[in-house]
Amino acid sequence: MSDHQDLDTLAEQGQHVAHNMAEVFDISSQIWQTFMAAQLQQGTPKHADPLNTFPTFAELYRTMWDNPKEVADKTIQYWTQQSALWQHSMLRWLGAKDVPEKLELPHMMKADRRFAHKEWSENAVFDYVKQSYLLTSGWIQDTVNSVGEMDPKERKKAAFYTRQFVEAMNPANFFALNPEVLEATVSEKGDNLVRGLKMMLKDLERGKGKLLIRQTDMDAFEVGKNTAVSEGSVIWQTDICQLIQYSPKTEKVCAKPILIIPPWINKYYVLDLNPKKSLVKWLVEQGHTVFMISWVNPDARHKEKTWESYMFEGASAAIDKVLEETGQRSTHVASYCIGGTLTGTLLAWMGKNNDKRVASATFFTAQLDFEDAGELQILVDDQTINVIDSEMEQGYMPANKMAEAFNMLRANDLIWGYVVNNYMLGKDPFPFDLLFWNADSTAMPAKVHGFYLQQFYVNDAFAKGNLVVDNTNVTLADIKVPVYHVATKEDHIAPAASVYRGAKEMTNADVRFVLSGSGHIAGVVNPPALGKYQFWTNADMSQQSLDAWMGGTQETEGSWWPDWDEWLKARSGRQLNAREPGAKLGVIEPAPGSYVKVRFDKQ
C-alpha cells in the first residue's frame, strides 16, 4: 500500500471516529433530555431517604467514633497492605525478576468475572487498578462488618448498602478504567459506544425515565410460543387468577391431583420454561394430573385485594375447582416462595377449621419463619413500609419497583455486568429464557404487599403465633398435613437456615425436609436429565439448627424430583384413566392463558 493510500485510510478512519463521537454526543443529549423530562414530570421526590439508611450509617459512624483504636489499627493495616501492593506493582512494571504474579493480602476480595479480560492481569497498570480496588473494597467491607458493637440488624443493613457502594465503584464500570472497553472502542472506532448509547436510550424510554436494563433479548421469547408451552387449558378464572389444567401424557394417572400455587412476585412459568426444564411436563410424564394457578398481573382495578383475597378467592377457591374437576375429596398442593407463605397461612387456617381438602403440602424455598429472612429483610422496616405505602397511590406496587429490589441483591450479576456489556461494549444481551422470565416482572396490590411486609418481614407474626386471617389466629403448629419441604443451599432470597426453622415449627405435621444444591431458582428447577447438583436428607428434625441437621444427612447426587415423586405417589391413591382438561368445568382458553401474557413494559 502506498503512502497516499495510507493517508486516505487514516483520513477515512478519522472521519468514522469523528462521526461516531458526534453521534455519541447527540445520543447522550437525548438520554439527558429523556431523563430530565421524566424527573420534571414526576416532580420532587417525596422522601429524601426512602430506604431509611441515615439512621443506620449514623449508628455506624458513632460506633467507629467509640472505637478509635480499632479503626486506627485497621487503617494502618490497610495502608501497609497498599504500600506492599504498590511496591509489588512497580517491580512488575519495571520488569523485575522473581516477582510473583499475584500478591495475596488479608483483606483482598476475589476478582469477579468482569476482570476476566487478559489486560486486567497482564498489564501492570490495569492489574494495579484491579488489585487496589479489591483490597480497598475488601477492607471497607471488613471494617463495616467488624468494628465495635452494633445492633445486628443495623450492622447487616450497613454491610448491605456498603456492598452496593463498592460494587458500583468497581473500575470495570468506568469507561476510562476498563481495558476491554478501551480496546473495543479503538478497534471499532467508537461503533460500540454508539450502539450502547442507543440501547441505553431505548431502555430509558422503555422504563419511562428510569433505566430498565435489558438482561436478555426480550424479543427472542414469547409466552406460549417458546416458553410456557406445556399443553393444557384454562378451566376457571376470577379477577385475580386463572386455573390451568395440563393435558395428560400417560394412559393412567394417580387419583389425587396436584395444584401448584406459584409466587405472584414473578410469573408461574419458571416451572414451565421449556420442555427440557419444565417441572410441569415432568410431573405429567410421571402420571400426575397437574393444575397451576396463574396470577393476574394487577393494576389499579385490584387495589382493594388483600392477603385474604389471594388466600380464599385465589388458592382456596382453586382447590375447590380442582376437586370439582377431578371428583376427588382432597388434592396435593405444591407452592413456591411467597406462594408457599400464602399456602402455609391457608393450611394453618384449614387446620384450625378441620378442613380436609388438602392431602399433602410441598413447599419450594418458602419462608414461614422470618426471624432472619435474608437480605430482602434489610430493605424492610416501618419507615420504608410507610414510604412504599405513600408511593402506591394507584393501589399497587409497580412491577419495575419489585424488579429493582431483587436486582439489588445480586447487583454485580444483574446490574453492573449488563451496564458494561450493553452500554459500553454495545453488545446485545444473550437470549436466555430464565432471564426473560426474570425480566417479565409483575406488580402487586398495595394491600397484599403491605400485609406481607408488615406481618411477615417486620412482625414475623406467623412464627410468633400472632397472625390473624379471617378473624382466626393461626400458627405453624396448626398445619396438620404431611409436608415435603425443599430449601436450597445457596438461596439469597429464602435462606436455607430460615426455611429450616419454619419447617421445624410445624410440630403437628409429618415433615420431610430436603436441602437441594444451588440457589432459589436452579435448586428448584433441576430436571433429573441434567444430572446436576445434589440434595441432602435427614429424617431427624429434632436438631435446632440447619448446621446441626446437616451433620446427620445423606447426600444424593442429582435432582430431588424423583424423591419427591416417590413421596407423592405413596400418598396419591390408586391409578385412574387419564383426565382431559375441563371435562367437567369446560375450557375457557388454551394454556398458558391470557393473564400470564400481560407485560408491564408493554402497558
- The string of pLDDT tens digits covering residues 520-546 is 999 999 999 999 999 999 999 999 999
Does a structural domain hold residue 34?
no
Question: Between the CA atoms of 542, 544, 550 and 556, what dihedral angle is there, to the nearest 10 degrees?
Answer: 50
Nearest to 535 by CA among 512, 569, 510: 512
Residues 447 and 594 in one domain: yes
Residues 158 and 264 in one domain: no
Q: How far apart are CA 503 and CA 132, in angstroms?
A: 44
Q: How far apart are CA 259 and CA 568, in angstroms?
A: 12
Task: Give CA 310 to chain center in angstroms.
Answer: 22
Residues 183 and 320 in one domain: no
* pLDDT given at position 112: 81
Does a structural domain hold residue 458?
yes
* pLDDT given at position 482: 98
pLDDT band at 17; cut points 50, 70, 90: confident
Question: Between the CA atoms of 177, 180, 183 and 186, what dihedral angle is there, to the nearest 10 degrees?
Answer: -80
Residues 256 and 120 in one domain: no
Name 26's Cβ contacts closer than 8 Å, sequence gap at least 6.
none
Rounded to a whole number of angstroms, the CA Rg of the chain reads 27
337 is catalytic: yes
pLDDT of 209 > 70? The answer is yes
Average pLDDT over residues 267-284: 97
**Higher local confidence (pLDDT), 597 or 38:** 597
Residues 450 and 555 in one domain: yes
For all residues of the chain together, what is the average pLDDT?
91
User: Pick the catalytic residue: 337, 443, 467, 521?
Assistant: 337
Does a structural domain hold residue 322?
yes
* pLDDT given at position 396: 86
Residues 479 and 570 in one domain: yes
Name 222's Cβ contacts closer than 8 Å, sequence gap at least 6.
none
Q: How far apart are CA 415 and CA 418, in angstroms?
A: 6
* pLDDT given at position 83: 93
pLDDT of 2 > 60? The answer is no
Out of 108-122, 323-337, 489-503, 529-543, least confident range: 108-122
pLDDT digits (tens, 9 = 90+) for 491-524: 989 999 999 999 999 999 999 999 999 999 999 9
* pLDDT given at position 298: 93
Q: How far apart are CA 117 and CA 303, in angstroms?
A: 49
- Structural domains counted in the chain: 2
pLDDT band at 389; cut points 50, 70, 90: confident
pTM of the model: 0.90
pLDDT of 7 > 60? The answer is no
Residues 176 and 243 in one domain: no
Q: In this prediction, what percent of the chain has a pLDDT beyond 70?
A: 97
Cα dihedral 388, 394, 397, 398 sign: negative
Does a structural domain hold residue 515?
yes
Whichever domain contains 349, its CATH number is: 3.40.50.1820
Q: How far apart are CA 241 and CA 314, in angstroms?
A: 6
Does a structural domain hold residue 416?
no
pLDDT digits (tens, 9 = 90+) for 353-382: 999 999 999 999 999 999 988 888 887 877
* pLDDT given at position 407: 82
pLDDT of 154 > 70? The answer is yes
Out of 46-55, 106-115, 433-442, least confident range: 46-55
Average pLDDT over residues 389-405: 78
The alpha-helical segments, DSSP class H, found in 312-398 are 317-326, 338-352, 382-390
Does a structural domain hold residue 423?
no
* pLDDT given at position 9: 62
Q: Which amino acid is at 241?
A: C
Does a structural domain hold residue 431?
no
Does a structural domain hold residue 391?
yes
Residues 363 and 453 in one domain: yes
Q: Which of 189, 216, 248 is the last residue of a domain?
A: 189
Q: Which of 189, 222, 244 is the last residue of a domain?
A: 189
Out of 82-91, 484-493, 545-554, least confident range: 82-91
pLDDT digits (tens, 9 = 90+) for 29-41: 998 998 888 888 8
Q: Would you say how long the chain is, in residues? A: 603
Q: Which of 170, 189, 208 is the last residue of a domain?
A: 189
Neighbouring C-alpha atoms within 13 Å toward the C-beta of 510? 6
Residues 165 and 245 in one domain: no
* pLDDT given at position 5: 53
Residues 253 and 133 in one domain: no
Q: What percent of the residues of the chain are helix, what percent strand, and what percent coil, each to the nearest 5?
A: 50, 10, 35
Residues 453 and 311 in one domain: yes
- Tell me whether strands 358-364 and 331-336 are parallel, antiparallel or unpaired: parallel
User: Which residue pairs, CB below 8 angstroms and at least 24 apart, start in 564-567?
Assistant: 564/362, 564/484, 564/486, 564/514, 565/283, 565/286, 567/484, 567/512
Residues 564 and 489 in one domain: yes
- Domain housing 126: 45-189
